[in-house]
Structure 1
Amino acid sequence: MTRDSSAQISGNRLAEKTAATSAPAPRRTILLLLTALSVLPVNIYLPALPNIAATFQADFALVNLSIAGYAIINAMTEIVAGAMSDRYGRRPVALIAVSIFIVASIGCALAPNIVIFLLFRVMQASIAACFCVALVAIKETAGDRGAANRIGYAAMGWAIAPMLAPSFGGVLDEAFGWRAIFVALALLGAAILAISMHELKETASFASRPRGNYFASYRQLIGSSRFWAYTLCMACSTGTLYIFLGGASLAANSSLGGSSAKLGFFMGMVPAGFILGSYLATRLTRKSLGTTLVIARLSTCMGLLLGLILSISGVTHVLAFFGPCMFIGIGNGLTFPAANLGVMSVRAHLAGTAAGLAAAMSIAGAALIASIAGLLLREPSAVSTLFAVLLGSASLALSAALFAAFVDRRLAIRALDRERAESRSGG
């Protein structure tokens, strides 16, 4: 690290204080709605996939492309939208994203064939821009400590929405047909657009907006060890969740008698843990970001270690599996606010770019981790193997958290030394 890095920390703090006092703070409700809407379309229509395939007389594998295509465009949207919000403002990016989402939802509802449906389905991924906008708007109007509290509450909505979405989508599909799901999304988007036009204020100051090209902004972030520390922590934390989602059915299905309803119920303990962790994050605002991350990752590792010990000891009760796995959700709920604040604080004037880039890299990294883990999880009921793999991924996240805490402490010391040296020379 150079002296410029130390100066950047002081500059970030000054920018945060200025933003918190000068930028109008959007109401918590609209930010929660935007974060919830950014994840709601991911799985709300999944129960209707067979009916969509039947309507278009298309192969189920072709309809499944709507999942992969959405994920790819989602990641690309986060990268581009974050950078655009730094240059053109948070409000216009959010309003345009919601507008495109409304049009795309209507297009899905009226699609005459599978090609048109898939086209409009990937267009729905534009709503991912609202995720970055909401996070950055919170940071710019609250500062680090207040932002950790508000992001914790926003994360609850971000977790609850995908929990309830499949049930809501299934009810609409059975009652009115699958097209009603996209009509409902269009109406919800229109309502949120109307509220946003009235309630969502611009939080980015014109003077702080970057003037260089996009690649220069990305280079500044990628060249920062602090950015990598927080991003890797998020990637490994999300990867741990992905491993659980992919391996839980193999590991626990036999102990549940093959009941998918029971499996779904117990798997809900992890998102419930995420909500609990997000709530706890709102109570840890006095801790530094690095310290909060270490606490979060330690809690996950301890829970998974307990699960590994129980599985090796031959304990086969269903709660001996899902109870320890609940700490995956608790740890991720604590990690989400701190890690996102960390990446957004690397360069104060590139907060949107950082949030979008880190989100995309985290998803890609998590998918890679889950893919590698999948090679080791081929035998049903291999509970101890699953816990060992989960603990390995969680340990990587803990290592990244410790590195983030170390980098933050070193930069803070250098910044303090620099301030003391400047005060002596000035005196």
Structure 2
Amino acid sequence: MPFRVVICQMAENSETFPMRAATTPPHLWTLILLTGNSVLTVNMFLPSLAHMSEDFGVSYGRMSLAVGGYLLITAFTQIIIGPLSDRYGRRPVILWGMAIFTLASVLCAVTRDFNLFLLGRVLQSASATGMALSRAVIRDQYDDRESASKMATVAMIMALAPMIGPTMGGLLDAAFGWRASFLLYTGLGLALFVLVWVDLGETHHHRSVTFGAQFREYPELFRSRRFWGYATCASFSVSTFHIFVSGAPLVVAAAFGMGPAKLGMFMGTITLGFVIGSGISSRVSKHSELSTMMIAGRLIAVIGLGLPALAIWMGYLSIPLFFGAMVLSGLGNGMTTPNANAGAMSIRPHIAGSASGLSSAMIVFVGAFATTFTGAVLTEEQGAWMLPAIMCLASVIGLVAALIVRAIDRQEARMATAG
């Protein structure tokens, strides 16, 4: 349903029932906006880091804790919010998350104390409820293939956030100073709280009576080879994006002599590929097995990165070859990730929130490891071929995980037929 129609309907409802709490499942645009806000919270203020370090009187390294520390806390937050949503429902956890995020954004916007700012950034990790639980909300309503298709649609539109966020933050900083980004976060948090209140009814109706009863379900999830196959595939697929973002500024400047402005334009190639791949997934996933889409996406990424890495190593270096590989990497991710995420939550559907939180945390941890590894081994001399080679290696790990899931599916299908 078009976003304009959604807003109009909510406005009509609010006139008759002011701020009436939603009782029906949310529109897809609500989930897209919740997910997009989680992404903007990571990257919108990045162009302001240098100004912020000057304003607080701290080194750039310490100021960078606002990014690295935030990602680390976000991983733990997602592990916690998943079980909370399985026990108490998606709606109250998301509402509390948006409320905490809004108050934390106010603290970040007004404080002059660096330690209080970091506290606000830690609390801003509550925005992760939007990303992790939006997937759980979709899984609550649809079967495996349909949920993968819906998640691909969300991902396709949400992929614009990494491109828009830094540009928006840079413009706000230039016009009003870095605090304007956090004032915008405050407005977004408040708007999303209202949107969730009026549009996101509860979708999880099979909650356990106690946490004890719920935790007794976890060993079956943790022992599931299929769950870890899905989560591993998703984690190493997304890690190729983190590897690219962390290594591209060094490599592209040395290999092609690009300045920051031109680099920023070309860094959108991997996102362009992701949008295309997500669009394909949103149309095809409902008619295909999850493992089929995962394997297809990983094969495109492995071949699309491996062959250019080999060609560049042999001396055939060019901008179309290097960035064409990044488009194919993003395309493969767009085909793989929604299906892997849907699969991870299909193991035990009534604790889909826990599965989503755990797999999301794993994505963050693997991404942090991948960026650290990339920074340690990448150099200006060999970076042009080594960067796509490292991304290819991560894609191979994801492909192996997808093949394991396919093998488990086939094995269980044979056992069911024999039984």
TM-score (normalised: structure 1) = 0.88
Q: Does 1:157 align with 2:157?
A: yes
1:269-308, CA deviations, whole angstroms, 9 ceiling, x for partnerless residues? 0011111111111111211001110001001011112312
Residue in 2 that maps onto 1:317: 318
Q: Which moved more, 1:362-371 or 1:157-166?
A: 362-371
**Cα distance in 2 between the residues matched to 1:201 and 1:355:** 19
Residue 412 of structure 1 aligns with an amino acid whose one-letter code is A
How many angstroms apart in 1 are the aligned matches of 2:252 and 2:48? Answer: 26
Which residue number in structure 1 is paired with residue 19 of structure 2?
Answer: none
| Equivalent residue, structure 2, for 1:221 | 221
> Does 1:142 find its partner at 2:136?
no
1:240-279: CA deviation from partner (whole Å, max 9, x where unpaired):
2222222223332234324111111111100111111111
**TM superposition shift of 1:112:** 2.3
The alpha-carbon distance between structure 1 residues 218 and 208, as it changes in their structure 2 partners (threshold 3 A), is: closer
What does residue range 106-117 of structure 1 map to in structure 2 within 5 Å? 106-117=106-117
Whole-angstrom CA distance in 2 between matches of 1:85 and 1:416: 36
CA contact (8 A) 1:47 1:169 kept: yes
Distance in 2 (alpha carbons) for counterparts of 1:123 and 1:32: 22
- CA 1:50 to 1:372, structure 2 compared with 1: closer, same or farther past 3 Å? closer
* Distance in 2, Cα, partners of 1:25 & 1:364: 31
What is the CA deviation profile of residues 155-182 of structure 1, one whole-angstrom value per residue up to 9, with x for unaligned ones? Answer: 1233211221111011111111111111
Check 1:63–1:374 CA distance in 2 against 1; reply closer, same or farther (3 A cut): closer
Q: 2:281 maps to what in 1?
A: 281
Separation in 1, partners of 2:406, 2:370: 23
Higher deviation after alignment, 137-146 or 335-344: 137-146
**Residue 199 of structure 1, CA deviation:** 0.4
Maintained 8 Å contact 1:252/1:383: yes
Deviation at 1:387, TM superposition (A): 2.8
Q: Partners in 1 of 2:88 and 2:54 — Cα distance?
A: 43
Q: Secondary structure at the match of 2:315?
A: coil
SS where residue 159 of structure 2 aligns?
helix
For 1:258-277, what aligned pairs fall within 5 Å after superposition? 258-277=258-277
Which whole-Å CA distance do the structure 1 matches of 2:380 and 2:95 have between them?
48
Give, in angstroms, the shift of residue 145 of structure 1: 2.4
Partner of 1:87: 87
Are residues 217 and 210 of structure 1, via their aligned partners in 2, closer, same or farther at CA, if it must alter by over 3 Å?
farther
Counterpart in 2 of 1:19?
none
Contact kept in structure 2, 1:136 and 1:352, CA below 8 Å: yes
Distance 2:209 2:402 in 1: 30
Task: State the Cα distance separating 1:416 from its structure 2 match.
Answer: 4.7
Return the offset for 1:380: 3.2
Structure 1 residues 389-400: aligned runs within 5 Å = 389-400=390-401
1:84 touches 1:93 (CA, 8 Å); kept in 2? yes
TM-score (norm 2): 0.90
Corresponding residue for 1:425?
Answer: none
Q: Find the aligned partners of 1:86 and 1:206 in 2 and give their Cα distance.
A: 8
> 2:89–2:207: 8 Å Cα contact kept in structure 1?
no
Change (3 A) 1:412 1:99: farther
In 2, Cα distance between equivalents of 1:375 and 1:59: 22
d(CA) in 1 for partners of 2:237, 2:322: 19
SS in structure 1 of the partner of residue 397 of structure 2: helix
Q: Is the 8 A contact 2:153 2:279 kept in 1?
A: yes
State the one-letter code of the partner of 2:410. R
Instruction: Give the conservation status (yes or no) of the 8 Å contact 1:86–1:350.
Output: yes
Q: Return the letter of the residue paired with 2:177.
A: G
SS at the partner of 1:345? coil
Q: Equivalences for 1:363-402 in 2 at 5 Å?
A: 363-402=364-403
1:208 Cα deviation after fit: 5.9
Q: 1:57 to 1:308 in 2, by over 3 A?
A: closer
Distance (Å, rounded) in 2 between the aligned partners of 1:99 and 1:30: 16
Mean Cα deviation higher: 253-262 or 147-156: 253-262
Unaligned residue ranges in structure 1 (runs of 5+): 1-22, 419-427
For the aligned residue pairs, the C-alpha RMSD in angstroms reads 1.9
Distance in 2 between the 1:373 and 1:60 partners?
20
Q: Distance in 2 between the 1:76 and 1:218 partners?
A: 17
How many residues in Structure 1 have an aligned counterpart in Structure 2? 396
Distance change (3 Å), C-alpha of 1:60 and 1:371: closer
In 2: Cα distance, 1:248 partner to 1:143 partner: 38
AA aligned opposite 2:56 = F
Q: Please report how far the alpha carbon of residue 47 of structure 1 lies from its aligned counterpart in structure 2 after TM superposition.
A: 1.1
Structure 2 gap segments, 5+ residues each: 1-22
Label 1:32 to 1:124 Cα distance change in 2 as closer, same or farther (>3 A): same
Question: Would the alpha carbon gap of residues 270 and 207 (structure 1) be closer, same or farther in structure 2, given more than 3 Å must change?
Answer: closer
